[in-house]
């Protein structure tokens, strides 16, 4: 009789552990694999950073940025 209870207890513990592993695989493992495959697919395409070659445009852009800066004085609140 004790052997039957011991076997039943081991079966319950194993089914619980396998159930947790199944839930992990169902809800986390499949999305992780899909994400890894999509990232690998994007790795095949080489994206190049677009750089601006017109220096006059950059200097005009810098002067516009300087005009957009708001100068303010901050005082301590007592």
Domain membership of residue 70 (yes or no) is: no
**Residue pLDDT, tens place only, 40-60:** 988 887 777 776 665 555 555
SS3 content of the chain, % helix, strand, coil (to 5): 75, 0, 25
| pLDDT confidence of residue 45 | 78
Range of the domain at 11: 2-63
Domain membership of residue 39 (yes or no) is: yes
Domain membership of residue 14 (yes or no) is: yes
Q: Are 58 and 52 in contact (CB under 8 A)?
A: yes
Residue with tokens 């694999």: 33
Domain membership of residue 34 (yes or no) is: yes
**Residue pLDDT, tens place only, 19-40:** 998 888 888 888 888 999 999 9
Query: How many residues are given for the chain?
Result: 78
Domain membership of residue 51 (yes or no) is: yes
Task: Calculate Rg over the CA atoms of the chain.
Answer: 31
| pLDDT confidence of residue 8 | 93
Query: How many domains does one find in the chain?
Result: 1
Q: How far is CA 6 from the centre of its chain?
A: 45
| pLDDT confidence of residue 20 | 92
Domain membership of residue 17 (yes or no) is: yes
| pLDDT confidence of residue 7 | 93
């Amino acid at each position: 009789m004790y052997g039957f209870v011991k076997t039943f207890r081991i079966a319950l513990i194993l089914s619980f552990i396998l159930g947790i592993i199944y839930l992990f695989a169902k809800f986390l493992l499949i999305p992780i694999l899909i994400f890894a495959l999509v990232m690998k697919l994007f790795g095949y395409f080489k994206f190049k950073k677009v750089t601006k070659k017109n220096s006059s445009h950059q200097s005009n852009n810098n002067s516009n940025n300087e005009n957009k800066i708001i100068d303010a004085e901050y005082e301590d609140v007592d």
